[in-house]
Amino acid sequence: MSNIVRIILSSLLLIGTVVLFWTGHWGWGILSIFVTILAWVTVFFNENMLIAQWYLRKENMSKAEKWLKNIKNYEKQLISAQHGYYHMLLGIIESQRAPLQSEKYFKKALSLGLHMDHNVALAKLSLAGVAMAKRNKREAEKLLSEAKKADKNKLLADQIKMMKDQMSMLDKQQFRYSR
């Protein structure tokens, strides 16, 4: 359903809610407030994306992917602020299957824009993991430092530290083998 239809439907629901209160049907008016809020939320947040995020939190990647696949043309179905998040969710799902293939989704998410710092940090941390898997230490270190800067609330501090430890362990192994 396009956003224009959602806005029209939400506006009609709002008018109906006002009419219910005006005519003295308080119980139905209160119920319709919740329905109207839900309709307005779907204007700004696509329901398929919300459900996919819920399944990602439950670590059910197949159902999350199914809900994301319901979005056939993301450029028309989503507002522009959600384009980056759509690609980030696809990258997270793809990173479980084929980590090296997820790179294109995270790069696209960063290029389209992510508005929350912790999401930028997560995308850069994931890209650092891909760079580390490709044995590109310089790129991985750069992305890790950018992820650390973007993680202002220290939500990913443990993961960043763990990846730095893995990089230093790889350096020690490479040093040992080079002798």
pLDDT tens by residue, the chain, 179 residues: 677 888 899 999 999 999 999 999 999 999 999 999 998 888 888 889 999 999 999 999 999 999 999 988 888 888 888 899 999 999 999 998 888 889 999 999 999 988 889 999 999 999 999 998 888 888 988 999 999 999 888 888 899 889 888 888 776 666 555 55
Residue-level pLDDT at 173: 67
Identify whether the C-beta of residue 121 lies closer than 8 Å to the C-beta of residue 156.
yes
Complete DSSP assignment for 65-132: HHHHHT-S-HHHHS-GGGHHHHHHHHHHHHHHH-GGGGHHHHHHHHHH---SHHHHHHHHHHHHHHHH
> Which DSSP category does 50 fall into?
H
pTM above 0.75, yes or no: yes
Identify whether the C-beta of residue 151 lies closer than 8 Å to the C-beta of residue 117.
yes
Identify whether the C-beta of residue 32 lies closer than 8 Å to the C-beta of residue 16.
yes
Residue-level pLDDT at 135: 83
- Helix, strand, or coil here: 24? coil
Residue-level pLDDT at 1: 60
Residue with tokens 């890790």: 144
